[in-house]
Amino acid sequence: MEIQLKVARAGNYNISYRQAGEGKQTILLLHGIPTNSFLWIHVIQQLSQTYTVIAPDLVGYGASDRAGHDDLTLPMQANHVISLLDALGLDSVHVVGHDLGGGVAQILAVNFPQRIDSFIVIDGVAFSNWPLPKVVSLRFPTAPEFEPSLYFIEKMLREGLFHQQSLTPELLNAFLQPFNHPDGPKELTEASLALNHHQTEDIVPQLPKVNKPATFLYGQYDRYLPPYWGMRLKETVPNSTFKVLPECSHYSMLDNPLLVTQEIMEHMTRASV
C-alpha cells in the first residue's frame, strides 16, 4: 500500500502527514519526542490494508511548522490535531499515541470525546510520570551529553530500544534529519520547555468518566515509562485493556512492529463490537 506524504493547513500551522489506505474507519497515529511520523512506517504498511491511516508530524517536529514552546504543550497539540481533522474533513478517528502522543490521546478523549471513536496509549506519558529527566536536561544542560544535539537524539533512541538492530540507518536518518540544521538545537529545547506533567495530571479526575474503548500497551523493558503506568491507566479508565509487550522497550513499534500492529488490530475489533 502506497504511503503518501501530504501537507495540510491546520489552524495557524502547516502540518505534514503520512496517509495510506482507503478503509471506512480512520486510525490517527501520534508520535512523541524526539521522533516524527516515520516512527510508524512499518505499522502504517500493515494497518493501511484494512483502514485509512493518517500519521502527522506534530507541530514542532518532522516536516511540520515550528513554534514556540507555548504552542507545543500537549493541550495545544490536541488542539492542533483537532484543526487537522477539521482540515481533512474527518468527524472522528481512532487515536493511537506513543510517548507524548499518548498524553495527547488522553487529552483528546477527555476534552473532545465527540471526535474520538477509541484510543490506544503505547509507552505513553500519563499522570505525573513525565517529563523524563533526560528531556528536562535539554533545558539546562550541565554536561556535553545533555546538550540538544543529534547525538542526544540518537542516544535517547538507542536507550529506548530492546533490539538495537531495529534502529536502521534509514530510521535514524529520518529522526535526525529534521533537527540537522543550525536552529535544530533551539527547536529541540523549545520542545522540551513545552512539557509539564500537569498537562496530563490535571485530566486524571476526568479519566474515570471516559466511555471510549481504550487499550494501554507498554514494553516489558521500557526504561523510560515502565509498564506500571499502563496498569495505573487500566485501573483508572473504565472497561479498558492493558498488555505488556514482551521483548520491547520504549519504542515498541520499532522493536516489534508486527506485534504492535496485531494489538492495534485486536483493539479495533473490540472497539467495533
> Position of cell 483528546?
108
pLDDT in tens, 58-92: 999 999 999 999 999 999 999 999 999 999 999 99
CB-based contact 24:53 (threshold 8 Å): no
**pLDDT tens-digit map of 89-106:** 999 999 999 999 999 999
Q: Read off the pLDDT of residues 161-185 as tens digits, 9 standing for 90 and up.
A: 999 999 999 999 999 999 999 999 9
Judged against a pLDDT cut of 90, whether residue 158 lies above it is answered with yes
pLDDT above 70 coverage of the chain, percent: 100
Q: Return the amino acid letter for 180.
A: N
Do residues 113 and 91 make contact, with C-beta atoms less than 8 angstroms apart? no
For residue range 214-224, what is the model confidence (pLDDT) as tens digits? 999 999 999 99
pLDDT of the residue at 223: 95
Cβ of 152: how many Cβ atoms within 10 Å?
Answer: 22
The secondary structure of residue 222, as a DSSP letter, is -
Quick one: pLDDT at residue 272? 86
Q: For residue 146, what pLDDT is reported?
A: 87
pLDDT band at residue 259 under the 50/70/90 scheme: very high
Q: What is the pLDDT of residue 145?
A: 84
Can you say whether residue 56 is alpha, beta or left, with left for phi > 0 and alpha for psi between -120 and 50 degrees? beta
Residue-level pLDDT at 99: 98
Check if the beta carbon of residue 266 is closer than 8 Å to that of residue 242: no
Is the pLDDT score of 48 beyond 80? yes
* d(C-alpha 155, C-alpha 244), whole Å: 24
pLDDT for position 141: 87
CA distance to 13, 66, 164, 198, per residue, from 70 (Å):
14, 11, 34, 14
Residue 181: is it exposed, middle or buried by C-beta count within 10 angstroms (0-12/13-18/19+)? Answer: exposed
pLDDT of 243? 98
> For residue 161, what are the contacts with CB-CB under 8 A and spacing of at least 6?
167, 249, 250, 251, 254, 255
Answer yes or no: is pLDDT of 1 > 80: no
Dist. CA 58–CA 65, nearest whole Å = 9
Residue-wise pLDDT for 215-248, tens only, equals 999 999 999 999 999 999 999 999 999 999 999 9
Average pLDDT over residues 33-39: 98
**pLDDT beyond 80 at 273:** no
Decide: pTM greater than 0.95: yes
